Amino acid sequence: MPARGGAQLSRRLGQKKQRLLEAEQHQSPPDGAWTPSPREPSLGLPATPGPQRSIYFSSPQGRPARLGSEFFDQPAVSLARAFLGQVLVRQLDNGTELRGRIVETEAYLGPEDEAAHSRGGRQTPRNRSMFMEPGTLYVYLIYGMYFCMNVSSRGEGACVLLRALEPLGGLETMRQLRSTLRKGAAGRALRDRELCSGPSKLCQALAIDKSFDQRDLAKDKAVWLERGPPGPTEPAVVAAARVGIGHAGEWAHKPLRFYIQGSPWVSVVDRAAERDVQA
């Protein structure tokens, strides 16, 4: 593997350490920083089995909670930001609902974006869903063993990569899915922070694979997006360089990755970018 892979990971590990420290120090985060959302106690208890309340079609207020196609019909940068705070829901065949709040995304802008699979207008069988209507899932295999999940946005070949979730429900099922799919599955139990803190981790945790490619996030029965509960304050959003695209020249440095500042669920923290936070 290229040397940059190792260096990149090393940086990430260092940043993670800092983040853990910071998350533990911030019992009550300052305005604009991450605030915990309501969730089940994270005591490693299994998600409630059997029939579960579903807010598939309506919220407690009676208005539709599921985000429809109009939500996805916006430019990639705008959609990438709009995703933050919304809740991704995956319903398994047995009815179990896995839920996670989106805390980190990346925008891929289309033909002009040297880091996008659609760069130069390339359209192949693999990336066809990038060119389909906004809200279409683009799921592809990476490094021969992982999946990444994108959502098509407005704009030819433009999409948003989902990079990290704050797990909200079904954590034990996520842990099982992640452990089963990991190499050396007999290892220790994964911590909550390790469940969805990366684009392929979240695909494992939610059982998203190639069969989800070209599905419509606005209409699918097994996966959808719900409006996240509004917090007391608008979360501060960090715009940073995207991850793992060192080959893309100037495009590698553009601030097209977005994450909720201070969230301990983010995969990679960029301290330099955080000095220039846009709330």
The binding site for DNA (CB under 7 A) comprises: 1-3, 5-11, 13-14, 17, 106, 108, 115-118, 122, 124-127, 130, 138, 140-146, 148, 150, 159, 161, 178, 182-184, 187, 194, 198-202, 242-245, 247, 267
DSSP class of residue 17?
Answer: H
CB of residue 243 to DNA, shortest distance in Å: 5
CA dist 189 and 113 (Å) reads 39
CB atoms inside a 10 Å sphere around CB 112: 13
Q: Are 171 and 164 in contact (CB under 8 A)?
A: no
Residues paired with 158 in a beta bridge: none
Comparing CB distances to DNA, the nearer of 139 and 236 is 139
- For the record, the structure tokens of 146 come out as 């992982």
CB of residue 166 to DNA, shortest distance in Å: 15
DSSP class of residue 235?
Answer: P
Comparing CB distances to DNA, the nearer of 97 and 213 is 213
- Using alpha carbons, select from 178, 226, 237 the residue that is nearest to residue 206: 178
Comparing CB distances to DNA, the nearer of 62 and 144 is 144
DSSP class of residue 1?
Answer: -
CB of residue 106 to DNA, shortest distance in Å: 6
Label each residue of 17-40 as H, E or C. HHHHHHHHHCCCCCCCCCCCCCCC
Comparing CB distances to DNA, the nearer of 65 and 202 is 202
CB of residue 60 to DNA, shortest distance in Å: 33
CB of residue 95 to DNA, shortest distance in Å: 26
Comparing CB distances to DNA, the nearer of 43 and 145 is 145
Per-residue buried b or exposed e for 218-245, using 16+ beta carbons within 10 Å of the residue's own CB: beeeebbbbebeeeeeebbbbbbbbbbb
Comparing CB distances to DNA, the nearer of 60 and 125 is 125
- For the record, the structure tokens of 7 come out as 């260096």
CB of residue 275 to DNA, shortest distance in Å: 20
